[in-house]
Structure 1
Amino acid sequence: MFSRAEPHEYVAAWAARFALWLFGLLPLDAASAFGGWLARRLGPHFAVTRHAVRNLARAMPELTETQRNAVLDGMWDNLGRVLAEYAHLRELKIGTLEQPGHVEVAGIEHILAIRDSGRPALFFSAHYGNWELTSLVSAHYGLPMLQVYRAANNPLTEELLQGLRAPLGGRHVPKGVQAAREILRTLKNNEFVAMLVDQKLNTGIPVPFFGRDAMTAPAIAEFALRLKCPVVGARVERLHGTHFRLTVEPPFMLEDTGDRDRDVHAGMLRVNQRIEAWIRERPDHWFWVHKRWPKE
């Protein structure tokens, strides 16, 4: 992996290691707060902020300029906190009735029903709140989870991230041909797959998202229809500081009319609509800098 890295990638990777070392020196709450403070001050000066401003204005034109600025400020705060929290993932705990923790879980009944059903399920989520905590919750409740993600462009950063995710449990596989094989194998073993499906995709199918077509990966609908397994939405909200709520929504089956293209599109539209509803509820939780829609 190291042989494929370019000089600038070494610099970026060591900068990331230094930042994580620095965050790791601080207690969890202090590191998270410092990461949020730093991102709120530096983030607006990054070029990608222009994408966020444009995306938010087009997706939620009903917001005033003051409201949009508050959303973007909250977005940078959340992102900075997420990055700082990577240095403390081992410390984050699931709360119980006997012992409070960092993550409370809503929809436990759905988790247990899916776990005990003897059937596979496909979970979807988004870069919303601290999205990494889905693995922590699934491991806690005994759901063998395959997490499908987009690999970092920098192979050194990718190696670092995988090491940090290890304490959360579950398996992680980058999107691609290998992921498709792993997804099929996992589902046929009556286990569970989770995907983040809110990023830009050059391929895929156009599906409405905030009223405009966005290229969307159809894998969840394709596998759900092929293996007749339920689809489940899961989101992680930041309640305050380093305290979160992971909500697992009721599972649903996709309609199978026999017209596969139509059914896949309808299934992914339903997924996009759920993610859009989450974002409308807490727009500061989403990563608006994604180039989610093609240029107009």
Structure 2
Amino acid sequence: MTLRQFRRRMGFHLLRLLAAVQARRGMAAVRRSGDRLGRWHHRFAFQQRRSLRRQLERLFDRPAGDPQCRQWLESAYRLSDRAILEVLAMYSGHLTPAEVAEGCEVTGLDVLGKALEQGRGVLLLGWHMGNGVAMATHLAERGYPVSVVHRESNKIQPGFYARGIPRMGLNAIPAQPAAVGVRQMLKTLKGGGIIYILMDQGIKRGVEQRFLNKRMPMPPGPAELARRTGCEILSARLCGVEPNWRFEIHQEATLDKNEPLEQSVEKLTRIMEAPILEHPEWWSWHQRRWARYPFISD
């Protein structure tokens, strides 16, 4: 283990401890702590904050020192850290699924119901915007069969997600090893279930696409699943953050199994890009994915 990995893992354990302590006081306490943590994170992340501000100014064609970009970043740090602390609290064993579901509102359930009636399963796309696992828990509490795809990280102890996700009444599907994950996803969709997956998850290998004016690898898995099963494609878009997370279920375009895979991935990439451009203050710009790639014109 490198020194950097050790520091990241220690940071994770400290956050997990804080989340567990606050979880005993309820979701409102976790929310407040996550909000404060994000404000301090933004304040002390000097180099990262400056770099991200310059990138946002370039992406949105804003002048140097633009106050709007500063506000977007402060909000992004605050909401991202709030969501992270909430997820850790959810997996601590000190919160019930019902408590978590109460802190999240979901509209567009009629769209979800009609999609499930088709009998081909539903691929529900998400972003690193708000607490998507809380949204999935809300659906599970309403009786929807939801599975969450998770990817292990070096800073998190092995099996953390696999143990934590089922505590919320959800089925956990690992993204790795790929063969195992794909089998479980196909089985879930063929059984008429719902798979919640983050399309903007950072990966090392994928199908290169233009995403927020950068060329970067995008995961082909969601497109391949949709093409192989003919499942319905929906998205869970964040539409509000205070006092609760508010999500809305949207119907998205279907994919043609005969079109090139790159074209299918490109369609999903445009779906993922639109809400970020509409609400840049809600996306976690600092979470080690988009920021490390150069702009296309560089």
Q: Assess, with a 3 A threshold, how the Cα gap between structure 1 residues 81 and 146 changes in structure 2: closer, same or farther.
A: same
Match of 1:283 in 2: 280
* 1:51-66 superposed matches below 5 A: 52-62=52-62, 65-66=66-67
* Structure 1 gap ranges (5+): 1-5, 95-100
Measured in 2, the distance between the counterparts of 1:48 and 1:149 equals 26
Contact 1:204 / 1:217 at 8 angstroms: preserved in 2?
A: yes
Distance in 1 separating the partners of 2:230 and 2:21: 47
1:167 matched to 2:170:
no
**Deviations 1:85-132, CA, capped at 9 Å, x for gaps:** 2325535454xxxxxx43222211111112333221211111111122
- 1:203 partner amino acid: R
- Tell me the distance in 2 between the aligned counterparts of 1:154 and 1:42: 18
CA contact (8 A) 1:135 1:169 kept: no
Is the counterpart of residue 231 in structure 1 residue 228 in structure 2? no
Which residue number in structure 2 is paired with residue 204 of structure 1? Answer: 206
Instruction: Name the amino acid aligned to 2:175.
Output: K
Q: Which runs of 5+ in 2 are unaligned?
A: none
Secondary structure in structure 2 of the residue aligned to 1:73: helix
Identity within the alignment, %: 21
1:3 match: none
Alpha-carbon contact 1:128-1:237 (below 8 Å) kept = no
Matching residue of 2:116: 115
Please name the residue that 1:98 is paired with: none
| 1:74, distance to aligned residue in structure 2 (A) | 0.3
User: What pairs up with 1:94-243 in 2 under 5 angstroms?
Assistant: 94=101, 101-156=102-157, 158-176=158-176, 177=178, 178-241=180-243, 243=244
Deviation of 1:80 (Å): 2.4
How far is the alpha carbon of 1:77 from its aligned partner? 1.0
How far apart, CA to CA, are the structure 1 residues paired with 2:208 and 2:269? 11
Structure 1 residue ranges, 4+ long, deviating more than 6 angstroms after superposition: none
* Aligned counterparts of 2:78 and 2:212: Cα–Cα separation in 1: 23
TM-score normalised per structure 1: 0.82
Find the residue that maps to 1:240 and give its secondary structure: coil
| Contact 2:202–2:289 under 8 Å retained in 1 | yes
Shift of 1:138: 2.9
Tell me by how many angstroms 1:27 deviates. 4.1
Q: How many pairs align?
A: 279
Relative to the length of structure 2, the TM-score reads: 0.81
Q: Which range moved further: 84-93 or 103-112?
A: 84-93
SS in 1 for 2:132: coil
For the 8 Å contact 1:32–1:80, the answer to whether it is kept is no
TM-aligned CA distance change 1:62 to 1:276, over 3 Å? farther
Tell me the CA shift for residue 50 of structure 1. Answer: 5.2
Task: Return the offset for 1:248.
Answer: 0.6
What letter matches 1:118 in structure 2? G
Among 255, 271, 284, the residue aligned to 2:268: 271
